[in-house]
Chains A and B, each alone.
Chain A
C-alpha cells in the first residue's frame, strides 16, 4: 500500500559528525515533503521541506535531498550537536490532499 517509511529505526553518531537519515516513499503523486524533529514530550517541529520540482534544499546545518527516480528522501545534518538527539520523521503531502502522511520515525542519538 501507499506509505512513507524510514529505513532505520535508530541511528547513533558521534558529536560533531554528520548524520544522514533516509526515507522512502511510494506515491509518485506526492509533491511536497517535510522533515520534522520531535523531542520527547513535544510536538513535531518543522526542520526543512522540499517540493517535487527540486532535488536539493539547504538550511542551517541541514540539507534535504530528493530522488524522485527511486522515490527516496534524505536528511543530512552537519556537525551534529547533543541538541540534535530526537526522533526524525519524514512526511509527505500528496498533491491535492491536505493531510500529511508520516513515516514511523528514526531515533537519532548523538554520543558525546
Chain B
C-alpha cells in the first residue's frame, strides 16, 4: 500500500501521560499536514511541513503539542500531559506540491481517560 500510513491506529492513555503518533506520507510528497477531528465535526488544521520545515501552526496547537519531520519524510506528533479534551482522531495528510490534492491517512484515534 503506497498511501499515507499512521501508527498507532488507536491509543488509550491516562490523563497526564505523553503520547506520540507517527505519520508516513506518500513517498514523493514534500508537504505533510496534521489535522484533528472530533466526533461529528470536520477535520481542523493543526500544522504543516514543507520537507523538514514546519511552516504554519494553528492556534489549536498548544504548547503541549509538538510536531517534527526531521528528515523531510515521516513526521511525529507528540502531546505532552494529555487532557481529556485531547481525545480526538488525529489525521495526517500529504500532498505533492502547493495547492495540490491532500491525501489522508486512516488516522490515530486518541482516547484520554
Contact = CB atoms under 8 A, between A and B. Distances in A.
A50 to B, nearest CB: 12
Contact of B42 (A46, A49, A104): A104
Interface string B48-64: 10000001101000000
Contacts of A34: 101-102
A43 interface: yes
A36 B31 CA distance: 19
B99 A102 contact: no
Contacts of A99: 33, 45, 48, 56, 58
Interface in B83-106: 91, 93, 98-99, 101-106
B103 A46 contact: yes
Contact of B48 (A42, A43, A98): A98
B70 interface: no
B91 A44 contact: yes
A: interface residue count bin: 20 to 34
A43 B104 contact: yes
Q: Most chain-A Cβ atoms within 10 A of its Cβ — which of B43, B48, B105? A: B43
B98 A98 contact: yes
A42 B102 contact: no
A27 B58 CA distance: 19
Interface in A58-101: 89, 91, 93, 98-101
9 contacts: A36-B104, A42-B106, A98-B31, A98-B48, A98-B55, A99-B58, A100-B43, A100-B102, A104-B40
Given A45-B104, A102-B44, 4 more contacts: A43-B93, A46-B101, A49-B101, A99-B45
